Amino acid sequence: MDLKTTIEDLIHSNKYTTFPSLSEFLQTVFKSGNQTKDLLTSDLIDKEFLEEIRSFVSNKCALLYFGKTLRDFKCLISDEDCLREHEICFQYKGPKMLSITAVSFLYSPLQDVNYSTLDDIVQTFQKHLSSLGGYFHQLECIDRYCTVMEPANPTFKEDYRKILLDERTWLHIEVTPQGLATNIHLIGQSEHWQNKLQEGLLKWDHDIDIVTNVMNIFEIEEFPVLANTSVQAIGFAEKTIEKSVCSICLCDELPGVPGVPLPLCQNPVCGIYFHRNCLYEWLVASSGGRPPAFGVATGSCPQCLQPITCNETNS
């Protein structure tokens, strides 16, 4: 392999992701002597971008790491209050063309824009992150004080939480980028909780946080918690509830399928949980395999045989 091909491999491939492989490449370059300078043409090395990286790192604008290849980067940016660090992954596509590949927070159209410089990325997303202060705060409060049943490993990328009210009822809440609660509804059949929710939504106070509103609406002084889960709020008593499994697949988690078993049966005396995906496929198969209209499958509960419905999507 000639030297120019070796250099192209360094820039464009992921062959040199470890120190030994990179060291071997550098030894090859050093042995080439003066030939190297002539081969490092502008189509291989963007000197302006390399200088920007050097200045960026020396000025400590943010933490910068290489990814799988030397064209992939991860930048850690603190939000306005320096309380949290957020990941922004981007890729060098060419001179003055940086493309966002992933972020560790809520999706924004800003991710679909190409940027000219590292500074453009940092300034744009620092301003964006400062606008999400309320969103971060509300999700942190929910994750700290409530038992979150779903997502299984909640992050700032998910704008919803399913909160445990009792062993048969969860509360679904979504949080807007402004930090406001929306699309609030119950999962599970409970006339007691449903009446409180309908009355309480009319009294929802957007001037106080979501957790306090939930406690006021449902008159909750202590949240139930799962086994081996510690309570961080002082004065909240522990109440242990066993982890449930899906009555169709008999598992609590499915590889590659998001979500945990839910109390989807509307029969209040049926203590059965299902993965939404499992129940949906069961109902579709039971009705002959034809996809239902509007993505809502209907049929009988596999356990109690009472009427049951299931949406294709998580809503």
146-160, 200-214, 298-312: the lowest-pLDDT one? 298-312
Q: Which residues of 273-285 are buried (b: 16+ CB within 10 A; e: fewer)?
A: bbbbbbbbbbbbe
The DSSP element (H or E) to which 271 belongs, if any, is none
Write the class of the CATH domain 133-242.
alpha beta
Q: Which tokens belong to 194?
A: 């449903």
30-34, 98-102, 161-165, 172-176: the lowest-pLDDT one? 30-34
* Cα gap 310→315, rounded to integer Å: 10
Mean pLDDT of 173-198: 90
CA distances from 21 to 3, 12, 26, 29 (A): 15, 15, 9, 13
Model pLDDT, residue 267: 78
**Residue 2 CB neighbours (<10 A):** 10
Instruction: Band the pLDDT of 236: cuts 50, 70, 90.
Output: very low
Closest by Cα among 137, 310, 309, 164 to 238: 164
Write the class of the CATH domain 244-315.
alpha beta
Closest by Cα among 16, 54, 108 to 100: 108
Q: Which tokens belong to 79?
A: 């939000």
Write out pLDDT tens, residues 36-73: 444 445 455 678 888 888 888 787 767 888 888 878 99
* Cα gap 238→97, rounded to integer Å: 53
What is the pLDDT of the chain when averaged over all its residues? 80
Instruction: Band the pLDDT of 239: cuts 50, 70, 90.
Output: very low
